Amino acid sequence: MKVFVLGTRGFPNVQGGVEKHCQELYPRLVKLGYAVTVFTRASYIPRDKRIDEWKGVNFIHLHFPKSKFFEAIIHTFFSLLIAVIKRPDILHIHAIGPSIFTPLAKLFRLKVVITHHGFDYRRQKWGGLAKCVLKLGESLGIKFADKIIIISKTTKILLENKYKRKDLEFIPNGVELLVYVPAGETLSRYGLKPRGYVFAVCRFVPEKGLHDLIEAYRRIKNLELKLVIAGDADHLTAYSQRLKKQAQEIGVILTGFVSGKPLEELYSNAGLFVLPSYHEGVSIGLLEALSYGLPVLVSNIPQNKEVPLAEYRYFDVGDVGELARKIEDLVEEGISREEKNRQLEFLKKEYDWDKVARKTAEAYTTL
């Protein structure tokens, strides 16, 4: 079965939740016998890394300039034109913005699967017109797609009530149980000690709540405790510039986007993982932190609460005072062996990438 994939910037090692999802999912579908072709946005992939194939997944690199507002729509449209000519068995569209072209794909008699990764129009970075386009994409995708996959149980219920479509399928993100990497070159580069820093991984956009985390860190009295944030902005914005300036003024360590061994080392040796977001699907970063057995502290939005943590590991979203107090308390407290084992067993049962791939293959087969 031939599958074409639209709506992702590409992979491997491209920043973004959708990109990480696709990086883990499609090589597994190749192993299950699917012929997968992914359309990438070449501007996100360095020229020397624009390969034609990776772990059996084929790539078609399309060249468009980066644009916060138009790149996803333009890229999806031209990718769809190629799909119309090449006639895959399944066209799999990720995220609600690109889903705006679902009716056009159906007009050309393609079988369409969409994955709804979250309510993107709730993100603070978008203005009124962009939010209208995203809402339209969601509406058209859910109305016309042959199969809809939702990564969050909370989101699934909300969409079923909103659109009165009852065949939405919950297939979550996944995570691999990752191997501890001892302190080495990466920690040495940033002057870090094992368990001596708080760690966050995300893009520099308002809905991730990094401004709250930086302000909370400013209030912390433990002068030995460091804050490390891995990630960056996809597009230079006033918000990302202001965030970096505030971080640098109080000594926050900004690593930029990292992947592979350096990221694994930073995860492995953190004293606490923090996710202060206002909006999520279900965070792969949170799942990865749990897979390393880290103590975590996350905002109490519904999607984060789908991961059953102890109640004291949540804080009221936006409450900087509570966030600061809990960071100090939980870094000192750490995590018990019993809690760590409970987290790992839950991940194995509910968020296994191999199970995710098999469920996705079953969804394809129904078409």
pLDDT (tens digit, 9 = 90+) per residue, 154-195? 999 999 999 999 999 999 999 988 788 999 999 999 999 999
Tokens of 178: 């990752």
**Mean pLDDT for the chain overall:** 93
Query: What is the pTM for the complete model shown?
Result: 0.88
Q: Are strands 197-201 and 272-275 parallel, antiparallel or unpaired?
A: parallel
Q: Which residue has the higher pLDDT, 63 or 141?
A: 141
What three-state secondary structure class fits 220?
Answer: coil
Reported as a single tens digit per residue, the pLDDT across 281-309 is 889 999 999 999 999 999 999 999 999 89
Average pLDDT of the residues in 119-140: 85
The CATH code of the domain at 2-174+352-365 is 3.40.50.2000
For residue 237, name the pLDDT band (cuts at 50, 70, 90).
Answer: confident
127: pLDDT strictly greater than 80 = no
Sign of CA dihedral 259, 262, 263, 264: positive
68: pLDDT strictly greater than 70 = no
Q: Which residue has the higher pLDDT, 355 or 128?
A: 355
Which CATH superfamily does the domain covering 185-349 fall into?
Glycogen Phosphorylase B; (3.40.50.2000)
CB distance 138 to 116 below 8 Å:
yes
**What's the CA dihedral at 332, 326, 343, 362 to 10 degrees?**
-150
Helix count and strand count (H, E) for the chain: 13, 14
CB distance 95 to 127 below 8 Å:
no
Q: Which residues 6+ apart lie within 8 Å of 23 measured at CB?
A: 11, 12, 13, 14
For residue 197, name the pLDDT band (cuts at 50, 70, 90).
Answer: very high
d(CA 288, CA 129): 34
Find residue 58's DSSP bridge partners: 37, 53
CB distance 320 to 312 below 8 Å:
no
Output the CA angle 356-203-194, nearest 5 degrees: 85
- Tell me whether domains 2-174+352-365 and 185-349 share a fold: yes
Q: Are strands 57-62 and 53-54 parallel, antiparallel or unpaired?
A: antiparallel
Q: Which residues 6+ apart lie within 8 Å of 140 measured at CB?
A: 99, 100, 102, 103
Tokens of 23: 């990086």
Percent of the chain surpassing pLDDT 70:
99
Q: State the pLDDT at residue 156.
A: 95
123: pLDDT strictly greater than 80 = no
Average pLDDT of the residues in 32-60: 94
In the chain, the amino acid numbered 69 is F
- Tell me the domain boundaries of the chain: 2-174+352-365, 185-349
